[in-house]
Amino acid sequence: MAKPGWKAAAARYLVTAGSGIINYPPLRDAARGMFDDARSSYDYFRSFATEGLASPAATSPAPAPPSTWVLSEKGGIGNQMQSLFSATTIVLEIIKIYQAEQIRRELKGIADQLRIHNNLVARGGGGPDGFARNVLDFFNLKVAEYTRTDDDRKHRFGKYRFKQHRLRKRRFRQHRFFIYHPDTHWHGAFARIRQECGSKQPLLLGLSNDLFAIFRLMLCARVDLEARIGDDARNITFHLLIPSYCTLVIPRSFVILGNLFPLTIDGQIAQGECLVWLNLPRRDGYDQPVLNNVGNLDDLPDSSWKQFATASAATTTMLATWMGATPMAVEAVAIACPPLAVPVLLACFAGTFIATATVVSAVESAWEEPPPALLG
């Protein structure tokens, strides 16, 4: 985003100074006094110029003495200048506060960038590979976590090696992995380090920066598995990995197509907090995925701002219509046609409730969320 030019800065300072002149009496009075003094001095010197140019007739009265320079206040121009300078200090303090707020915002931005850098370094992404190394390590960790069997820890003898290999291969075939992240700058490095590692990673079926696209890919993969292995495809678990180096919040609500289950969504944690937050409301006919280190916005407590906004709108509308418009309408009708005063009062009473109900309905509809989007 481009920084504002000098015109925008000058306009901002003029608005600040204008606000100081309007809202602070010492500054306003000092500015008015300086204007009156300048006008008085102009009239004083202008009288000398007009006196020399005029040629009065012999019968005209004696010329009046030049105008005198009269200060606008009793204390003289010294007090006016002192008041002006003291009030100008207030404006300077306002400007300092504004600049301090700008500095605070810049420092907050620097702190956020440092936190993101520290998260990358802590996850091994501080080298030349950057975030791509973090993604690959996260993927390898989850593959090892979901495909590991109990026999990998219990049996260490040669006669169990064949059984162990067979069990691991069976667990290996029961999982498929997908990766989602809204950024794409790491895709090139990710492809390079995958090629350098020499691992084909057959369990990774795709990655994307589009959430709808990755779920559509998952649906296509499920359909292909069902076509190749039949009902056994329902035993294969899909895993959506969402690595992140900063807080990633997707406020839009989603429901997931049932053909994608069983499904797990895995995220990461930094400083004890989930870095990934989705909005997966519970709806009849739709299953919930297993969330590992992923927050669900639907589980958070409802905000009280909706009730507060509704009550404020109802109170304001009722006061404005019943105590503001109704007395004026009834009084005007009573003067013009007294028999119609009572019907007008009853009509205003009914109109107050209708207007209040309309405003409350509009406020509630503004707070309502759109229906969830379907992923799949």
**Residue 1 covered by a domain:** no
Q: Which residues contact 183 (CB under 8 A, 6 or more apart)?
A: 131, 209
Are 234 and 310 in the same domain?
no
Q: What angle do CA 141, 147, 152 make, to 5 degrees?
A: 100
Residue ranges of alpha helices (H) inside the chain are: 6-23, 25-53, 76-122, 131-147, 151-154, 161-172, 187-197, 211-229, 305-318, 326-336, 341-367
Provide the whole-model pTM: 0.60
Are 310 and 263 in the same domain?
no
**Residue 311 covered by a domain:** yes
Question: Rounded distance, CA 250 to CA 269, Å?
Answer: 16
Are 80 and 96 in the same domain?
yes
Residue of higher predicted confidence among 154 and 105: 105
Are 277 and 142 in the same domain?
yes
Are 370 and 254 in the same domain?
no
Nearest Cα to Cα of residue 269 among 112, 114, 122: 122
Are 83 and 169 in the same domain?
no
Are 158 and 237 in the same domain?
yes
Are 295 and 309 in the same domain?
no
Are 107 and 43 in the same domain?
yes
Concatenated DSSP letters of 333-363: HHHH-GGGHHHHHHHHHHHHHHHHHHHHHHH
Residue-wise pLDDT tens digits, 332-355 = 877 888 888 788 888 888 888 888
Report yes or no: 118 and 134 within 8 Å, Cβ to Cβ: no
**Residue 58 covered by a domain:** no
**Residue 224 covered by a domain:** yes
Are 182 and 97 in the same domain?
no
Residue-wise pLDDT tens digits, 125-137 = 667 788 888 899 9
Are 150 and 275 in the same domain?
yes
> Domain tally for the chain?
3
Are 201 and 225 in the same domain?
yes
**Residue 59 covered by a domain:** no
Domain span at residue 365 reads 305-375
**Residue 342 covered by a domain:** yes
**Residue 262 covered by a domain:** yes
Handedness of CA 214, 215, 221, 225 (dihedral sign): positive
Query: Comparing 41-45, 57-61, 248-252, 262-266, which segment has the lowest mean pLDDT?
Result: 57-61
Question: Rounded distance, CA 314 to CA 352, Å?
Answer: 10
